[in-house]
Structure 1
Amino acid sequence: MDNHFTQINQVPEGIVFDAVVGMAVYREDRLEWVRQATQSILRQSYRNFVFCVVIDGEIPDDIASYLHEQADSEPRLILMQSKHNVGLSQCMNHIIDWAVPYAPDYFFRMDADDISRPQRLEKQIAFFRQHPDVDILGTALVEINEHGKRVGKRKLPLTHSEIVRFLPKRCSLNHPTVAMRFRVFEAGHRYRASLRNTQDYFLWIELAGAGFIFTNLADKLLQFRRVNDFYKRRGLSKSINEFKARLYAMRHLQKIRIGNIIYALAVLTLRLMPSRILKLAYKIDRLFLEKFVKH
């Protein structure tokens, strides 16, 4: 185990779980959103899980106090602390490595500003049990603003073949909605620790190349927070990494096509434009999904 992390509380004796939910909390997070995210997991209809939350470096005192109070009162909430901010990849990898000795069946992603529907875990686990060949399972989502008002939706291709076909053009799973079988990690796969963004995109490409099976549910099982600065947060680093991921997908999945290359270059160009142009591009992308993704 990485000694960069400290485990604040332990799994109480008698707690049975076959699923692990992983979430990281950062300095920029808001208490109200962290509370909503946390409660949306702790109140799930499916109960055989533990909720591992990593405090990634220094965070506001009110959020730290809330998480410690929850860990004291909620036996399924396991709190961990990193010495300084290391990013999502390392936080999730730490949770995964911590969980391996317990031999759970499923790993769920969660973000500290989103809200899971009460039946999210139940529905995704039910699908896994009905489809033993599926390894990675995402869902559709509803986009909400900082006030919790619905501002959009995001649906993605449903079948494995469509998801893989889309990968050279776009990340075709909504990362905060994803659940994975632990056999993915038992095979040695992890998020790329060096990446501060697009870590999910690279992982899906790697797993697709390794033969793991993907599915997306049409059910909107998560409310995704899209705030005012959403279009400004892409940044040069994320834009370049997305471009590299598209090139990696073309090579790794043997999908080097003129159309895919032109698309990758066009998206990179748009990503580097002012936020008002990026906002327009985002709307065009949603129209593209509505036209080509059939549910």
Structure 2
Amino acid sequence: MTSKFTLLSDVHLRSSVDTVIAMAVYAGDKSVWVEEAVNSLVCQTYENHIIVIVIDGYVHDEILTQLLNVSRLLDNILLVRGDANRGLSACMNFVVNWSLSNVAGVKYFCRMDADDISAPQRIEKQVSFLETHPKISILGCGLFEVNEQGEIVGHRKLPQKHGEIIRYLPKRCSINHPTVAIRMNVFKRGFRYRENLMNTQDYFFWADLAAAGFKFANLSDELLKFRRVNDFYKRRGLSKSINEFKARFYTMKVLKRYSFGNILYAFVVLTMRLMPGRIVKLAYKLDRYLLNKKVVHD
């Protein structure tokens, strides 16, 4: 089925615009979190950007009204509505294709989720890094994990350099999707998110880009607050767990990184994912603790 998207607002495309920030909103999102997410983008210190918010099918009237109001007030927000819930991949691919067709000077594509909060200097720091490191095409950053009240409950320390990111990739997604800034040249070469996947699309995407020779990096700065809600450990579900398992083996295949340790890790994680929530929670915390201990920042 062909995805159909309708523009609900106009956006002022200044000649200086070089960055597009893309966010999708779903029926399950909370209006207060969406407001916080949008406000964090509106308050960015970097000004040469536009924000494209895709409403992925039905959302509650409160969220729709909220988004319509902010898009009318600000001329750098484009509001788009999908005719049905198509999933994150379809929404992001629409933003990519629209940007390539309509934003003449676009250089960077940045991600954001509707329940997270970006630090004010996030986009400025990522654009500055990409401007001075032309070999890097995909740039992530560290993040704080916050609970439903916005209180910090943890953080993710990720490898910074390409070699370490690729070494970790067969075991875990070593680039946080909501934090990434991607060069538009990646998409100009024809790469897109897989629309047949309703989850784990980023993991497969990173594997494809790594296999194609693109270079990755992570800033050590924790520039995003990632929402870890009470049912976070239960939301994985069978479908996501199986897709993560497949993504790990796909990554091993395309990067030629089959090893006993990588294969064992894939099976152990799949087994743990299918256990009760309290076990998954303990395993998640242990995995994060070990990763934070292993990763060394300069």
Q: TM-score range by the shorter chain?
A: over 0.9
2:65 — aligned with what? 65
Letter in 2 for 1:274: P
| Aligned partner letter, 1:192 | R
Corresponding residue of 2:95: 95
Cα 1:3–1:163, aligned 2, differ >3 Å: closer, same or farther? closer
Q: Quick one: which of 146, 149, 159 aligns to 1:147?
A: 149
Distance in structure 2 (CA, Å) of the matches to 1:290 and 1:149: 20
2:81 maps to what in 1? 81
Per-residue CA deviations over 1:91-145 (Å, capped at 9, x if unaligned) read 0000000000224000000000000000000000000011011000000000100
Contact kept, 8 Å, 2:207 with 2:254, in 1: the verdict is: yes
TM-score w.r.t. structure 1 length? 0.98
Is the Cα–Cα contact under 8 Å of residues 3 and 90 in structure 2 kept in the other structure? no
Deviations 1:203-248 (A, max 9, x none): 0000000000000010000000001000000000000000000000
Secondary structure of residue in 1 paired with 2:171: coil
Q: 1:180 aligns with which of 170, 179, 182?
A: 182
Between 1:247-256 and 1:2-11, the stretch displaced more is: 2-11
Q: Secondary structure at the match of 1:90?
A: helix
Whether contact under 8 Å (2:3, 2:83) holds in the other structure is no
2-structure distance, mates of 1:95, 1:122: 21
Measure how far apart 1:3 and its partner are.
5.9
Aligned to 2:22: 22
One-letter amino acid matched to 2:25: V
Identity %: 54
**Could you tell me whether the CA contact under 8 Å between 1:52 and 1:78 is conserved in 2?**
yes
Q: Runs in 1 of length 4+ with deviation above 2 angstroms?
A: 10-16
For residues 134-159 of structure 1, give each alpha carbon's deviation from its aligned partner in whole angstroms, at most 9, with x where no partner exists.
Answer: 00000000010010111000111110
Question: Aligned partners of 2:10 and 2:61: how far apart in 1?
Answer: 22
**AA partner of residue 87 (structure 2):** G
CA offsets 1:183-210 (integer angstroms, 9 cap, x no match): 0000000100111100000000000000
TM-score by length of 2: 0.97
Q: Which amino acid aligns with 1:98?
A: W
**Within 2, Cα distance between the matches of 1:64 and 1:290?**
39
Determine if contact 1:15/1:76 at 8 Å carries over to the other structure.
no
Matched with 1:233 is 235
> Residue 164 of structure 2 corresponds to which residue in structure 1?
162
Asked if the contact 2:51–2:76 (Cα under 8 Å) also holds between the matched residues in 1, the reply is yes
Q: Distance in 2 between matches of 1:225 and 1:12?
A: 31
Matched residues in 1 for 2:230 and 2:3: separation? Answer: 37
Matched AA of 1:19: T
Give 1:10 shift. 2.3
Structure 2 residues without counterparts, runs of 5 or longer: none
**Which of these residues, 174, 198, 216, is aligned with residue 218 of structure 2?**
216
Count the aligned residue pairs. Answer: 294
User: Of residues 121, 140, 145 in structure 2, which corresponds to 1:119?
Assistant: 121
- What secondary structure does 2:109 align onto? strand
Moved more, 10-19 or 190-199: 10-19
- Structure 1, unmatched stretches of 5+, are none
Deviations 1:145-182 (A, max 9, x none): 01011100011111000000111101101110000000
The whole-number CA distance in structure 2 between the counterparts of 1:272 and 1:126 is 42
Q: Superposition RMSD on alpha carbons, in Å?
A: 1.0
Q: Which residue of 1 aligns with 2:5?
A: 5
Matched, 1:207 2:209: yes
Whether the 8 Å contact between 2:137 and 2:183 is mirrored in structure 1 is yes
Provide the secondary structure at the position in 2 that maps to 1:231: coil
Counterpart CA distance in 2 for 1:149 and 1:93 is 33
Q: C-alpha separation between the residues in 2 aligned to 1:14 and 1:174?
A: 30
State the secondary structure of the residue aligned to 1:137: strand
How far apart in 2 are the matches of 1:255 and 1:60? 45
Q: Is the 8 A contact 1:40 1:117 kept in 2?
A: yes
Q: 1:122 to 1:14 in 2, by over 3 A?
A: closer
1:263 Cα deviation (Å)? 0.7
Over 3 Å counting, the alpha-carbon distance change for 1:227 and 1:261 in structure 2 is same
How many angstroms apart in 1 are the aligned matches of 2:142 and 2:261?
Answer: 26
Cα offset for 1:35? 0.4
